[in-house]
A and B are shown apart, each in its own frame.
Chain A
Amino acid sequence: MSATRALPEGARREARAALWFLAPALGLITVFFVLPVLAGLVLSFTDFDIYAIADPSTARAVGFENYRAVLANPLFWKALGNTFYFVLVAGPLSVAVSLGAALLVHARSTRLRGLFRTIYFVPVVTTLVAVAIVFRYLEHPKYGLVNYALGLIGIPPVDWLGDPTFAMPAIVLLAVWKNFGYNMLIFVAGLSNIPEEQYEAARLDGASWWEQFRNITLPNLMPTFLFVILITMLGNFQIFAEPYVMTQGGPLRATTTVVLLMYEEGFRWWRMGVASAIAFVLFVIMLAGTLIQLRLTKERPA
């Protein structure tokens, strides 16, 4: 408090200048983020629907009714279960694959590192819809390459997108393949920051590759890990486009995620109030997930 008051004239002028520099960004965030979120919050307490789009005066304030309806809807719990399935399977898998890829492209013995880095990153910048269509071919029960490969090792064909048991794994496969390149780059950056001397010292002491990895690489990568796990989790909770394009939430709702359900409520049935309520319930869940994760990492000695 006293520090800000005691700010010398020069610093205060600087702060004012900074405010001007920040103004465009703050303005954009207010217009395109803060206001819509507040509008969504208000919507979630109304029964804004198709009739209200035609005539806003038919929207009624309903208090917590939308939230009650969402929590009482078995489909919401099914979607939440599917979403957690995806978060818990695709998340760790994606982190593991990107770490593995990062270690490979970072290893000094690897040739053409730049090329591999680019190749692994290509899926990230490829249009999801195009990729999903290719994956629908790959995972086709009769003509798909995936089943062909399984057939070579004697596994009978799997109806990837038509069987409720396998539809989510099929989507996990697509999502992990599509997104691991991004985390890989972050891991590569983290790996490059580890001082080479530590490895040299370890090698002099006769440490094996595994010992080096456990005692040097992993601890040094901790902050990167936290960041990667967090953004992966946040992204995975919001999974929408993959099931939307691949399965439309089927078969038997096995791939209906929370955001897909929200989309259906909002843009198929035009129950904007219910859709907004789903969005805020998901927000609370993600916030809780983030806090738990931050707490866990803080407790662990660095």
Chain B
Amino acid sequence: MSAKPVWVALLALLLAGCASGSRDSNVTTIRFWGMGREGEVVEELARDFERDNPDVKVLVQQIPWSAAHEKFLTAHVGGSSPDVSQLGNTWIAEFAALRAIAPLDERVAAGGDVERDDYFDGIWDTNVVDGITYGVPWYVDTRVLFYRSDLLAAAGYDSVPGTWEGFRAALAALKRTMPAGSDAIFLPANEWTQPAIFGAQAGSALLADHDTKGAFSAPEFRKGFDFYLSLFKDGYASPMGNQEMSNLYQEFARGSFAMYITGPWNLGEFRNRLPDSLQNSWATAPLPGPDGPESGVSTAGGSSLVMFRAAKHPEAAWRFLSYLSRPDVQARFFHLTGSLPARRSAWGDSALVADPRAHAFRVQLERVRPLAKIPEAEQISIRLQERAEAAIRGAQTSEQALAQLDREVDQILEKRRWLVSRALATTGSGK
């Protein structure tokens, strides 16, 4: 009985709290989703943003990478998407197809902190689906060559040649000078990125006819694929997958392999995990290409910032997105996470200029190309990986593997083919 007044008082307090919260309408609260480490760091950047923009409050929600895709989809279907978010740029096409994320062309064209021309073209392009921009690049991820400079020097090279043929000669020299049983290069047999990169370097777009059919049997892809396979056949690489490489860093330090194609996260990992004695013996280089460095294209990965169509406060969301895109904030983000900035001007940061290993990425970023920008891209990459592994391990010839790949991809793209032909038919009749 005596407890009753206490409850009433508590309830009254609670109601008063709610009321004052909702009455304070001068402050707009926007919701931001960040993944993994980025989500933690954004919290810090958001506080700075709120200091400059007292009328906006940013609610940062951290999402683990492993659950992110599912969360975004259920949020979209359930109508609880955030206002603005980080989104892996390979997911853009899918969420654009779902009509979950909003076009940004008008906002970008209106000027402000997001300056289109300051971004690396290939990276920006990952955000453009059917001519419409759906995201602003936040940080980038591409693949370059990591190598043991001491082993390469012992093989008679002071840098990595820029052409395929020069590269092959360097691998041959490495094979000659390295002890038997070691590999000139480690190419994980169970990754789709490597075959995709070599195919793209040879001029393949991977897909054809408005991305409705596989183009893997076409001569361009075939050329890149055969070059890739030849690195195994000629004994420069062993046909082994990632799971067979028990400790990559240990094996690299031991000299079990001299080269490895990988991404920016390994700049930090190599620095931390390789022994001190090796710290002056590893370097990075942009990928070689069939016709010299310019043709040595690589993947355009990374994360973008997107706005959801269901955003309740799009104006405030865009302000926060613009803030995160400012070159000085990008540079700060790099210092906090090690993620490479997507804007050329942010690369003027002294830490990046001073790091010769980051320089390879800077060069490579001018030569990146998005792979298939369609919702089915991930399924296709899995098929590519399976067929590539079969060809590497000799279960299929290159011709058989690529023919089967085209068949499987055509099957995956059946719906898309139908949609595109239908869309073409309606626009055709409209004219």
- A residues sitting closer than 8 Å to B (CB atoms) are 47, 49-51, 53-55, 58, 60, 162, 251, 267-270
Q: Is B94 an interface residue (CB 8 A)?
A: yes
List B contacts of A50 (CB < 8 A).
94, 97-98, 375
CA distance A47 to B77 in the complex (A): 18
List B contacts of A251 (CB < 8 A).
243
A53-B77, A54-B99, A270-B375 given; 16 more Cβ-contact pairs under 8 Å: A50-B94, A50-B97, A50-B98, A50-B375, A51-B97, A51-B415, A51-B419, A53-B98, A54-B98, A55-B99, A58-B419, A60-B418, A251-B243, A267-B73, A268-B69, A270-B73
**Least Cβ distance of A43 to chain B in Å?**
15
List A contacts of B415 (CB < 8 A).
47, 49, 51, 58
Cβ-defined contact, A267 with B70, below 8 A? yes
What does the 1/0 interface line of B408-425 toward A look like (CB < 8 Å)? 000000011011000000
Cβ-defined contact, A54 with B70, below 8 A? no
Instruction: Please list 7 pairs of residues, one from A and one from B, whose beta carbons are closer than 8 Å in the complex, sorted by A's number.
Output: A47-B415, A53-B77, A54-B97, A54-B99, A58-B419, A251-B243, A267-B73
Chain B residues 231 to 260 lying within 8 A of chain A, measured CB to CB, are 243
CA distance A251 to B244 in the complex (A): 12
Q: Is B80 an interface residue (CB 8 A)?
A: no
* Count of chain B residues near A, Cβ 8 A: 15
Closest 8 pairs (CB-CB, A-B): A54-B99, A54-B98, A50-B375, A54-B97, A53-B98, A269-B379, A50-B97, A49-B415
List B contacts of A60 (CB < 8 A).
418
Smallest CB gap from B94: residue in A: A50
CA distance A51 to B94 in the complex (A): 9
List A contacts of B70 (CB < 8 A).
267
Cβ-defined contact, A162 with B243, below 8 A? yes
Smallest CB gap from A248: residue in B: B66
**Least Cβ distance of A187 to chain B in Å?**
38
**Least Cβ distance of B66 to chain A in Å?**
9
What does the 1/0 interface line of B10-44 toward A look like (CB < 8 Å)? 00000000000000000000000000000000000
Q: Of residues B70, B73, B416, which shows the largest number of chain A Cβ atoms within 10 Å of its Cβ?
A: B73
Smallest CB gap from B418: residue in A: A60
Smallest CB gap from B77: residue in A: A53
Smallest CB gap from A159: residue in B: B243
List A contacts of B97 (CB < 8 A).
50-51, 54
Smallest CB gap from A55: residue in B: B99
List B contacts of A54 (CB < 8 A).
97-99
List A contacts of B73 (CB < 8 A).
267, 270
**Least Cβ distance of A62 to chain B in Å?**
10
What does the 1/0 interface line of B65-84 toward A look like (CB < 8 Å)? 00001100100010000000
Chain B residues 381 to 431 lying within 8 A of chain A, measured CB to CB, are 415-416, 418-419
List A contacts of B77 (CB < 8 A).
53
Smallest CB gap from B375: residue in A: A50
List B contacts of A49 (CB < 8 A).
415
CA distance A4 to B389 in the complex (A): 69
CA distance A269 to B73 in the complex (A): 11
List B contacts of A268 (CB < 8 A).
69
List A contacts of B69 (CB < 8 A).
268
List A contacts of B99 (CB < 8 A).
54-55
CA distance A270 to B243 in the complex (A): 29
CA distance A55 to B97 in the complex (A): 9
List B contacts of A47 (CB < 8 A).
415
Chain B residues 93 to 142 lying within 8 A of chain A, measured CB to CB, are 94, 97-99
List A contacts of B94 (CB < 8 A).
50
List B contacts of A267 (CB < 8 A).
70, 73
CA distance A49 to B418 in the complex (A): 13
List A contacts of B243 (CB < 8 A).
162, 251
Smallest CB gap from B70: residue in A: A267
Smallest CB gap from A267: residue in B: B70
**Least Cβ distance of A293 to chain B in Å?**
36
CA distance A49 to B73 in the complex (A): 13
**Least Cβ distance of A88 to chain B in Å?**
28
CA distance A66 to B419 in the complex (A): 19
**Least Cβ distance of A36 to chain B in Å?**
15
CA distance A270 to B415 in the complex (A): 13
**Least Cβ distance of B355 to chain A in Å?**
34
**Least Cβ distance of B307 to chain A in Å?**
17
CA distance A294 to B379 in the complex (A): 42
CA distance A267 to B76 in the complex (A): 13
CA distance A93 to B375 in the complex (A): 43
Q: Of residues B77, B94, B98, which shows the largest number of chain A Cβ atoms within 10 Å of its Cβ?
A: B98
List A contacts of B416 (CB < 8 A).
51
**Least Cβ distance of B188 to chain A in Å?**
15
**Least Cβ distance of A143 to chain B in Å?**
15
CA distance A149 to B385 in the complex (A): 38
**Least Cβ distance of A166 to chain B in Å?**
14
What does the 1/0 interface line of B361-381 toward A look like (CB < 8 Å)? 000000000000001000100
CA distance A47 to B415 in the complex (A): 8
CA distance A198 to B97 in the complex (A): 70
CA distance A268 to B99 in the complex (A): 17
CA distance A270 to B375 in the complex (A): 10
List A contacts of B418 (CB < 8 A).
60
Chain B residues 42 to 70 lying within 8 A of chain A, measured CB to CB, are 69-70
CA distance A218 to B99 in the complex (A): 61
CA distance A152 to B98 in the complex (A): 55
List A contacts of B379 (CB < 8 A).
269
Smallest CB gap from A251: residue in B: B243
**Least Cβ distance of B109 to chain A in Å?**
25
CA distance A233 to B99 in the complex (A): 42
CA distance A89 to B16 in the complex (A): 60
Q: Of residues A47, A53, A162, which shows the largest number of chain B Cβ atoms within 10 Å of its Cβ?
A: A53
CA distance A162 to B98 in the complex (A): 36
List A contacts of B375 (CB < 8 A).
50-51, 270
CA distance A47 to B418 in the complex (A): 12
**Least Cβ distance of A20 to chain B in Å?**
34
Smallest CB gap from A52: residue in B: B415
CA distance A55 to B415 in the complex (A): 13
**Least Cβ distance of A277 to chain B in Å?**
15
CA distance A270 to B95 in the complex (A): 12
Smallest CB gap from B414: residue in A: A47
Smallest CB gap from A49: residue in B: B415
CA distance A269 to B97 in the complex (A): 13
**Least Cβ distance of A243 to chain B in Å?**
15
Q: Of residues B69, B243, B415, B416, which shows the largest number of chain A Cβ atoms within 10 Å of its Cβ?
A: B415
